[in-house]
Amino acid sequence: MEVVIVDHPEQVMADIVENAVRGGAKTIGLATGSSPLATYDELIRRHRDEGLSFAGVNAFLLDEYVGLVPTHPESYARFIRDKFTDHIDIGDVHSPDGMAPDSRIAADAYDALIAEVGPVDVQILGIGSNGHIGFNEPSSSLTSRTRIKTLTEKTRQDNARFFDSFDEVPMHVITQGLGTICDAKHLILVATGSGKAAAVAAAVEGPLSASCPASVLQLHRHATMVVDPAAAADLKDADYYKYVWANKP
């Protein structure tokens, strides 16, 4: 895994996405939540000011709440449009159907669509304070496919800031599985702030374990973790990662 420790992770993240798109990438994977927002803002700026075009590119969201209509202010289908895709010239934006009568069937259909249109060229990821990526909570199978998941109380508490109350945070989601995520050609994960330091260290330097779902990146053929110094605070080999980045060929 490549670990990049920089003051402005959004710049490196945007560079990776821009290079992929300008190089002919046709499919990108998008994460929601607060971690990628600065990256999306930078990509919007490059689209507006520097002519970065996403025309012909398909996007796939990682996950969606079960029971929220796509127009709900806190649905991820709405979130990604408000924060990113409505501001660029991207092609189709796909997300799991959180209102499907049978969430299991909807999950299987979404996994099949990713396989049909993909593979995803570059997948943007965040990381939860408990090490989850997408909504693959601790104990998730490292080879799991898109499916319905029950959120932990911790994740619901973390997300309650986006809702009027904790009770309004849905308990279930449809999420790409860790196996589905790892089908992407390049995984890029961004983390900022001291609150993510323990999860980052577990993912990078801890054992490969379902207890830290993000540790699955250790198995991926092309995974990059981009973190700021606060999120890197618990990394034992931080100096080595900085040296490698400074001397990258």
Output the CA angle 53-22-26, nearest 5 degrees: 80
CA dist 133 to 97, 146, 193, 202, Å? Answer: 19, 13, 17, 13
Instruction: Find, among 143, 145, 125, the residue nearest to 31 by Cα.
Output: 125
Per-position b or e across 192-211, b if 16+ CB within 10 A of its CB: beeebbbbbbbbbbbeebbe
3-state secondary structure of 62: coil
Helical pair 37-50 and 9-22, crossing angle rounded to 10 deg: 50
Measure the CA–CA gap between 121 and 23, rounded to whole angstroms.
Answer: 10
Q: Tokens standing for 214?
A: 């993000």
The two tokens of residue 83 are 């924060």
Relative to beta strand 27-30, strand 63-65 is unpaired
Task: State the catalytic residues.
Answer: 63, 130, 132, 137
Residues 6+ apart with CB under 8 A from 165: none
Determine the Cα angle at 221 with ends 42 and 138, to 5°. 80
Sign, CA torsion 159/162/168/171? negative
